[in-house]
């Protein structure tokens, strides 16, 4: 399914903090930042990209709990959430605000939502699915027909997909505190950037989403990570908790 970057460009606020933790955003000034991956980067083979993406893709089942904090020019809000992965690309998100208020849930497979609760959640989001996945430490494969470029050295792997006027870029760094950076652009406009700090196992420890066009920032702090043997089938159905 083609990656869908903007579902409603008029929306100013952040249903993924209050609805399902999707890309809600942070101002970083009016100046357009330089791209994550140099336009001069060389072409990559499909096998190279598949291998690099595969290093970030969850295997088996994973459950992670997190705290979220949203800040914008009107104040701050926060709450807790849970994400459940089933390899390779299915995820269930459950979030709530203070004292359990504003509960919401969604199931996403790849780059599309299977269902959301409340039902109008997706229509009210300004999401980018690549940014959503990057907040959880996961890179995505390119859309069919995308131009793919990048490179690798001893500490940094960087790659970029260009599909028409849309660009998705990733930078993965090694070291004592590895990071996964992601950026989505529509033409020269930066839709959003993610900086996820990873643990030794590749799972995210913290993640920050920023978007230049809206004065807000979403921070996630992961508090627990569990590897269950499986999830019950009804977990993926609406109305289940």
Q: Where are the domains of the chain?
A: 15-222
Res 207: pLDDT: 96
Residue 99: predicted pLDDT: 62
Integer Cα distance of 49 and 51 in angstroms: 5
60: left (phi over 0), alpha (psi -120 to 50) or beta: left
Helix then strand then coil, % of the chain, to nearest 5: 15, 45, 45
Cα-based distances in Å from 174 to 102, 152, 202: 37, 11, 10
216 bridge partner residues: 72
pTM: 0.84
pLDDT reading at 36 higher than 70: yes
**According to the CATH classification, is domain 15-222 in 2.60.40?**
no
The mean pLDDT value of the chain amounts to: 83
The answer on pLDDT for 22 being more than 50 is: no
25 has a pLDDT exceeding 70: no
Mean pLDDT across 49-57: 96
């Amino acid at each position: 399914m083609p990656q869908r970057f903007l579902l409603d460009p008029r929306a100013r606020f952040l249903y993924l903090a209050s609805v399902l933790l999707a890309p809600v955003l942070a101002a970083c000034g009016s100046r357009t930042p330089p791209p994550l991956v140099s336009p001069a980067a060389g072409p990559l083979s499909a096998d190279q990209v598949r291998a690099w993406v595969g290093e970030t893709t969850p295997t088996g089942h994973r459950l992670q709990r997190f705290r979220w904090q949203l800040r914008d020019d009107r104040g701050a809000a926060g709450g807790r959430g849970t994400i459940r992965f089933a390899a390779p690309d299915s995820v269930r998100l459950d979030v709530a605000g203070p004292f359990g208020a504003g509960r919401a849930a969604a199931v996403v497979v790849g780059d599309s939502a299977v269902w959301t609760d409340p039902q109008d959640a997706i229509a009210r989001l300004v999401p980018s699915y690549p940014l959503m996945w990057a907040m959880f430490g996961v890179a995505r494969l390119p859309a069919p027909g995308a131009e793919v470029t990048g490179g690798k050295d001893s500490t940094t792997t960087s790659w970029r997909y260009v599909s028409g006027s849309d660009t998705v870029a990733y930078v993965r760094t090694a070291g004592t505190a590895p990071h996964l950076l992601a950026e989505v652009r529509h033409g020269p406009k930066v839709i959003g950037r993610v900086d996820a700090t990873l643990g030794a196992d590749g799972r995210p420890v913290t993640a920050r989403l920023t978007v230049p066009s809206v004065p807000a920032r979403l921070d996630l702090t992961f508090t627990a990570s569990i590897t269950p043997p499986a999830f019950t089938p009804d977990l993926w159905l609406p109305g289940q908790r």
